[in-house]
Structure 1
Amino acid sequence: MRDEYARYLLSLHSRNAPIYAVVDGASYDNLPEILWRGDFKSKSLYLDRGDNDPEQIVTAPHLVVLDEMPFEAGRRSSTETLAALFDALGSTSGVVFWHGVKSAEHLFKHLRGLNVIHIPIDALATDDQAHIAETSVPVLFRHADANALAQVITSVNVDEASRLMGPTSTLVCQPDAHWCKGLPFLHMSRDKDWPTPAPGMLSLSVGTMTRMEQRREDGLKAWALDDFSGDSETPMTQETILDAFARARVYCLEEKDDIWEFIELEKTFGPSFEKRPGWEAVANTLKSSTKTAKQRIFYAALACDELSERQ
């Protein structure tokens, strides 16, 4: 599958329109060191403000030039650099490829403008909405994370897609399998009928966020089925996993870790554990309006342990 992916990427490359890689620092333990050891020509998309924040340095996305040959003698071709990059990174879900601009500086400027985008407040977690008065908020955009971008490029409208693509013609990424819906990789190409990219910050509409949420929901379900049905010691049926997933969402558990904790409780204490006679305290904790999602799942787990020990 990686060979097929590499062949497609290299088929886009030309002298006038090379391909560039943008690697997500947050997807790897120490991306700057990986790139340094691999002798890649790269540049951080987060500017150094002089605060020497180690977390920001390590997690920053980096633009990587694949065609190194025009810079100095003895450098690698795109084919050689791409193979070396894949070997250095291991996982491909933390890199997105962009094509269609001749200048790395031109692409750098465009991507810098995508580091932060606006989303509607309704798209935030329920626990966060109460603290914000505005109708939209700026958020960090993980445009170098293939798993995050997979949810975006399948959901945006043409105006948003045009602003996302900017001066580029194609973006390509290979998310984890549960985000790909059976495809070997995902790509978006600029259509000749698209409008001119709007100036200013990329803002995603309510409709786009709704589609993204459904895409995320579908991906998380597929992920949960992979994780919990494959447990050799205590496998769960697909029906049980999906039922637990649906109930977790009814209790407004939105983050993956919280949903997974709920499904673990289902696996440990049995189907519909919180609805068992005498376990009303568990259900009440999960419904609490005064606790955050993480607090609710934490105290529900404690209540399950206590009730189980009594029986």
Structure 2
Amino acid sequence: MQEVLQTDEARISPETLEQLPAPLFAVLDGAHFDDIESELLTLGIKSRSLFLKGGDDDLRRDGPFLVNLKNREIIEAVCRIANHGPCAVFWSCSEGEQVLWRHLRTINEILIPDERLPDNDGSQGRAVQYERVLFRHWDPNVLGAILPLLSRAQFARVLGPASHVCFDSPDYGGWRRARTSENLPRPERGTLRLEPEQMERLKTAMLHSSRLRIARFLKANVPPHFSGVDDEFVWGATLASERSADELGIKTERGRARWAYVMMMSDGKAAGAPEVRNYVRDGGDTPDNRVKSLIQHAVDSLRSGSYASGGRV
């Protein structure tokens, strides 16, 4: 499982970016910052939101911001920012900033099959009904999940006037570079649409990605007194915790990561401990919120009762 749990992310360097045709641009994910627009201004870098003013200020602040990488100083500053986490997607567009800005705004939303409707997959002979959702193309992990699923026509729609798009998506293979080609169809107009089969493949990829993040969380939080914990054990602990998490109604990734930690700490015994299960299911709050305070509660009860941790402690 070394490949799966590898935590060293590819470093984004000015030299890597300068291999791309100029002019170069970066789209930064505001959700990773308190106020990326203001933070960039303190560095003397102007940015441009891909969301128009007049809407929700919080949504706009946490959304995408386009930066023109017009000189080496800006490129170096943005690389330093991008190497702190998956928050940047890089574009090469010969037609310039305004053309790229307009194009990226046209892919801010995407159509996906409406999962609120039963059997909405085209298998019953009925036309698939779609809903419009936000397409977070400024998140490199989102692009890392979606780009491999696209048809050539869909890929051309995403690239639009750009010749290259590059990003470091740690949950989907690290550094990725995609480019246009002569035999790529002309980009179609209209909203990009994912079909039911593509959505099923996307769910599979996202589930694997979520498992990777949970496994990395466990690996980074192994107690010092544990021994014999390797990648294979951590991956197995991640998978082994899923059934009991489902039974307890723990749905969020953060909650499931915490539950996987409790299961690892107890050598799998927490799932069978009535006190622990009742604590999570007591109805006073959602299971995901209850599991926030579960770790110390579970450890205390496991140490004082008959569910003491087993062989790997």
1:111 aligns with 2:104: yes
Alpha-carbon spacing, 1:166–1:248, altered in 2? closer, same or farther (3 Å): farther
Task: Please name the residue that 2:209 is paired with.
Answer: 219
Secondary structure at 1:261 match in 2:
helix
Tell me which moved more, 152-161 or 105-114: 152-161
Whether contact under 8 Å (1:100, 1:170) holds in the other structure is yes
For structure 1, list consecutive stretches of 5 or more residues without a partner in the other structure: 68-76, 123-128
Task: Please name the residue that 1:233 is paired with.
Answer: 224
Alpha-carbon spacing, 1:7–1:151, altered in 2? closer, same or farther (3 Å): same
Task: Please name the residue that 2:132 is paired with.
Answer: 138
Task: Please name the residue that 1:156 is paired with.
Answer: 150
Q: Distance in 1 between matches of 2:231 and 2:84?
A: 27
1:64 aligns with 2:67: yes
Match for 1:233: what amino acid? P
Kindly provide the CA deviation profile for residues 43-93 of structure 1, in whole angstroms up to 9, marking residues without a partner as x: 1111001x5x441342121111111xxxxxxxxx2x222002223555252
How many residue pairs are counted as aligned between the two chains?
279
Match for 1:153: what amino acid? L
Task: After TM superposition, give the deviation of residue 264 of structure 1 in Å.
Answer: 1.8
Match for 1:282: what amino acid? R
Whether contact under 8 Å (1:159, 1:197) holds in the other structure is yes
1:294 aligns with 2:294: no
Alignment map for 1:1-311 (pairs within 5 Å): 2=11, 5-14=13-22, 18-49=23-54, 53-67=56-70, 77=71, 79-88=72-81, 90-91=83-84, 93-122=86-115, 129=116, 135-176=129-170, 178-180=171-173, 183=174, 185-230=175-220, 231-233=222-224, 235=226, 236-250=229-243, 251=246, 255-271=252-268, 273-274=270-271, 276=272, 279=274, 282=277, 294=288, 308=302, 311=306
The two structures, once aligned, show a CA RMSD in angstroms of: 3.5
Alpha-carbon spacing, 1:242–1:136, altered in 2? closer, same or farther (3 Å): farther
Secondary structure at 1:218 match in 2:
helix
Q: Distance in 2 between matches of 1:281 and 1:84?
A: 48
Question: TM-score, structure 1 length as denominator?
Answer: 0.75
Kindly provide the CA deviation profile for residues 144-199 of structure 1, in whole angstroms up to 9, marking residues without a partner as x: 111222111233222321211112121000123x432xx5x111112332322222
Question: TM-score, structure 2 length as denominator?
Answer: 0.74
For structure 2, list consecutive stretches of 5 or more residues without a partner in the other structure: 1-9, 121-127, 307-313
Whether contact under 8 Å (1:244, 1:262) holds in the other structure is no
Q: Distance in 2 between matches of 1:92 and 1:300?
A: 29
Q: Percent identity?
A: 21
Secondary structure at 2:218 match in 1:
helix
